[in-house]
Structure 1
Amino acid sequence: MNNRSNGDIRSKLALLQLAKELGSISRACDIMGYSRDSYYRFKKQYESAGEQGLRNLSRRKPAIKNRVPPEVEAQVIEIALDYPNYGQARAAELLTARGCTISPSGVRAIWVRHNLETKQNRLLALKSAMKQRQQGVDDQGAHLHEIKQDQMGLECRYPGDVVVQDTFSLGDVAEVGRLYQHSFIDAYSQVAHAWVTTSNDSEHAGQFLLEHVAPWYKERGLPMDNLLTDKGAEFFGSKSKAFQGAVAYLGCNHIHMRAYNGPVVNGIGARFQTLVWNEFYEPLFKTKRFDDVGEIQQRLQEWMAKYNQQFAIAGRYTLGKTPLETLEISQHLIPKRD
């Protein structure tokens, strides 16, 4: 999928997620610049075919009935244990966010085969699995568990409680080549940091975190307690050692969420990256050609300062205030550290 198509889908997904969070389709459409007719069309396409349905000319074939691949079945069972309170429709929505096309009835069929069709059975299966792993949950662990479970409406207690890092492909840019934006967003205040590089690898992700984000937080005495990422190679797995080292150095709890790239889970990252693409990159690349990443970097930082200081954000905690205003008035919520 090319960058234009990718950006279009991100924008549509962000509209659907924002409408859920605000509880107002009209407000979401005003913020995102869409009509109500467009919202209902996107919603219908998403409900019928998931993310693939939002492509303008999708040729993707639906899953053949009764021929669910083993890896999809494994994820359906995994969701039953990770989210035992979810019904079949919500589980199917989460699977769609992962890129797996399956209907609610398909989810139920798999659950029935594995005796997971009722909430009680799923909770018993989860309890058994946790007992086998001998997992003890203290107060902090319980909060981490809540963060993992409550992906539809992320609960944050204070600025720095939950922070999100993601990598966003900008595509090929003139003479510079392929570029990536490393993004970091505070889930409570929506204060954001961004950096452009020529690589999305673990070393660059770790360098962004250590050299560009952590000093800003340290200077202001702000915590970075729970760091959420997806399971991209730069964050998770054998190629993520540089990033994992940076996280360990900072003492963050690293939570690599399943399905993090979907519209349900990655609402924070998707909304910010859709905004920065629509408001900054797209107008910039239409009016000027670049042969040096440094100039793009400089302009991005100027735009980021404007975003944090001047953009009124309609969110659960911001309530129409700018990110820095939200941060300022919520300082008292941050627990005192020894």
Structure 2
Amino acid sequence: MKSEGFNSHSKHIVLKHAIKHKNVSLTCKLFGISRTTFYNWYRAYQKNGIAGLQSKEPQKPQMPNKVSSSVEREILDYVAKYPLDGPKRIYYEFKSEGLDLGESGIYNVLKRHNLSQKRQRLEYSKNKTYPISVKKKKRQAIPFGDQAKSVNYPGQCVIQRIDFIGKFDGVGKIYQYSIYDVYSRLGVVKLYNKKQDIDVWYFFEHKIMYLLKTFNISIDYLLTYKTKEFLPYFVKGNMLIEVTDDLNINHRFVEYEENSVLDEMTDFNRFLVKDFYSYVENKNSVNSFSKVEREFQKFLRNYNFLTPISKGVNSGKTPIEVVLEQSNNKGLNYEELPIWILALLNQKKRVDVK
């Protein structure tokens, strides 16, 4: 059924179904609508109730290529500080701060001021020193501040980032998308050998959401480590909003100097480089990307299930044990855990006995 065939009453039924079953993907599949359509209805309902679901007369299309004088000033200020960035990079940077401008609109501003070429922007930057004044969305305060010791349970603060690890002989390039829970120190990682293959939110939907459901936990705050190179992989399309809305996650882009809680994930990455990637460089038999992936997942399982935390409030426990403690408090039935998790837990018991 096409989305235009729904009236306000039927739209309301769709929303209630999703809320009841806590599964937007299932609802969209059942009623034959896209996730984008669902979230358009959901946001309209949150804002205006049933009235927001009523069909409206077609409106004149908005012109994303036109920008106000104040936004134009924002773009010029940005160019003054980052002259190497072109329209696409500026578009992603602004989008991460809550300003969803059209890329062509940004280009038109640059062209109008003779700044469409890199050499023109560099020359402009030499004579301009404007402070960046991008109007940022009002960010909700993080209750634990910037101190990891103030995080009190799994899922309260989760960090995600993308890194280029390097180029390895016989293997090629390795890009790493990592998700790290600050309290339990549990790490989930996906490796890519091509930058264009990175699909953050597909992996989040199919892996992270599965783990959240399995362990009966949720994410309160998701902090995305903000770097220019990989910013497009987080803000491209609507998946960032859809996934975080679906899971009721408070999301923030955070730069390193802004929040020292990111030190936790930096330490995790250093550990991976020191204990795994250094091993790969010196291991001649690990000579393809697929072999690196297999070895890495073994290494990560060993870290999450068998390696005790060395310091802090959870010292002596493994990351998975910390997560399961929280799950147990929420009434998790261990018998319902997947077989692969039970097998790894039994492996941990055998190691402890020895």
Alignment TM-score, normalising by the size of structure 2: 0.48
Structure 2 CA distance for aligned equivalents of residues 193 and 213 of structure 1: 8
Identify if the C-alpha distance between structure 1 residues 266 and 200 changes in structure 2 by more than 3 Å, giving closer, same or farther.
farther
Structure 2 CA distance for aligned equivalents of residues 260 and 280 of structure 1: 24
Match of 2:127 in 1: none
**Percent of residue pairs identical:** 19
1:226 Cα offset (Å): 1.2
Is there any run of 5+ residues in structure 2 with no aligned partner, and where? 1-79, 82-134, 333-354
1:285 Cα offset (Å): 1.8
Q: Is the 8 A contact 1:167 1:200 kept in 2?
A: no
Structure 2 CA distance for aligned equivalents of residues 206 and 229 of structure 1: 12
1:272 Cα offset (Å): 0.8
Match of 1:329 in 2: 325
Structure 2 CA distance for aligned equivalents of residues 146 and 153 of structure 1: 11
Correspondence for 2:227 among 209, 226, 232: 232
The amino acid of 1:196's aligned partner reads L
Matched, 1:210 2:205: yes
Match of 1:176 in 2: 171
Is there any run of 5+ residues in structure 1 with no aligned partner, and where? 1-69, 72-128
Correspondence for 2:249 among 243, 248, 252: 252
Match of 1:52 in 2: none
Match of 1:283 in 2: 279
The amino acid of 1:255's aligned partner reads R
The amino acid of 2:260's aligned partner reads V
Correspondence for 2:154 among 151, 159, 178: 159
Q: Secondary structure at 1:254's aligned position in 2? A: strand
The amino acid of 1:169's aligned partner reads F
1:228 Cα offset (Å): 0.9
Specify which structure has the bigger relative contact order, considering alpha-carbon pairs within 8 angstroms and separated by 6 or more residues. 1
Match of 2:315 in 1: 319
Identify if the C-alpha distance between structure 1 residues 242 and 283 changes in structure 2 by more than 3 Å, giving closer, same or farther.
farther
Match of 1:298 in 2: 294
Matched, 1:195 2:190: yes
Q: Secondary structure at 1:313's aligned position in 2? A: coil
1:253 Cα offset (Å): 1.5
Structure 1 CA distance for aligned equivalents of residues 318 and 152 of structure 2: 18
The amino acid of 1:306's aligned partner reads N
Identify if the C-alpha distance between structure 1 residues 224 and 263 changes in structure 2 by more than 3 Å, giving closer, same or farther.
closer
1:265 Cα offset (Å): 3.9
Identify if the C-alpha distance between structure 1 residues 211 and 284 changes in structure 2 by more than 3 Å, giving closer, same or farther.
same
The amino acid of 1:302's aligned partner reads K
Q: Is the 8 A contact 1:229 1:260 kept in 2?
A: no
Q: Is the 8 A contact 1:162 1:228 kept in 2?
A: yes
Identify if the C-alpha distance between structure 1 residues 203 and 261 changes in structure 2 by more than 3 Å, giving closer, same or farther.
farther
Identify if the C-alpha distance between structure 1 residues 299 and 263 changes in structure 2 by more than 3 Å, giving closer, same or farther.
farther
Q: Is the 8 A contact 1:202 1:242 kept in 2?
A: no
- How many residue pairs match? The answer is 199
Identify if the C-alpha distance between structure 1 residues 199 and 253 changes in structure 2 by more than 3 Å, giving closer, same or farther.
farther
1:301 Cα offset (Å): 0.8
User: Following superposition of structure 1 onto structure 2, how do residues 1-338 of structure 1 map, counting pairs within 5 Å?
Assistant: 144-147=141-144, 150-153=145-148, 155-200=150-195, 203-233=198-228, 234-235=230-231, 239-241=235-237, 244=240, 245-257=242-254, 259-260=255-256, 264-288=260-284, 290-331=286-327
Q: Secondary structure at 1:189's aligned position in 2? A: coil
Identify if the C-alpha distance between structure 1 residues 206 and 229 changes in structure 2 by more than 3 Å, giving closer, same or farther.
same
1:275 Cα offset (Å): 0.8
1:296 Cα offset (Å): 1.0
Structure 2 CA distance for aligned equivalents of residues 201 and 246 of structure 1: 21
Q: Is the 8 A contact 1:197 1:204 kept in 2?
A: no
Quote the RMSD (CA, aligned, Å).
Answer: 3.5
Structure 2 CA distance for aligned equivalents of residues 216 and 275 of structure 1: 23
Identify if the C-alpha distance between structure 1 residues 254 and 209 changes in structure 2 by more than 3 Å, giving closer, same or farther.
same
Structure 1 CA distance for aligned equivalents of residues 231 and 329 of structure 2: 29
Identify if the C-alpha distance between structure 1 residues 306 and 226 changes in structure 2 by more than 3 Å, giving closer, same or farther.
same
